[in-house]
Amino acid sequence: METKKEKTGKPKELKLTEQQIADFTKLAELQKDGEANGSSRKLITDAYKAFMVENHDALAAKSGVRAGKLKVWIEVKRTLRAEIVE
């Protein structure tokens, strides 16, 4: 069975709940402060880890997910690392 993404080449549409909008708005406000409020930001992002995994395709899309003036997306950062081991 093909998913909507496979049929259209676009991620599935994702609707945010009122609670998610409130939480993500709070996250956006906390992110404006840069490194300040790191623990508060981590509480929100940790609470939404399963949401991020479940909705990866929609959130990883260049346009992200929009709700009014709010835009939510994930950034996938790839880091090449090396370690010398004995």
* Per-residue model confidence as pLDDT tens digits over 35-84: 778 889 999 999 999 999 999 999 998 889 999 999 999 987 878 888 88
Inform me whether the pLDDT recorded for 3 exceeds 60: no
pLDDT of residue 32: 85
CA distances from 53 to 9, 34, 71 (A): 19, 25, 17
The conformation of residue 32, written as its DSSP 8-state character, comes to T
- pLDDT value, residue 66: 92
Residue 30 or 36, more confident: 30
For residues 27 and 44, the answer to whether their CB atoms sit within 8 Å is yes
3-class secondary-structure state, position 85: coil
Over residues 1-21, mean pLDDT: 68
Burial class (CB in 10 A: 0-12, 13-18, 19+), 59: buried
- Looking at the DSSP bridge assignments, the partners of residue 67 are 70
Q: Tokens for 54, please give them.
A: 């479940």
Tell me the C-alpha distance between 82 and 86, whole Å: 13
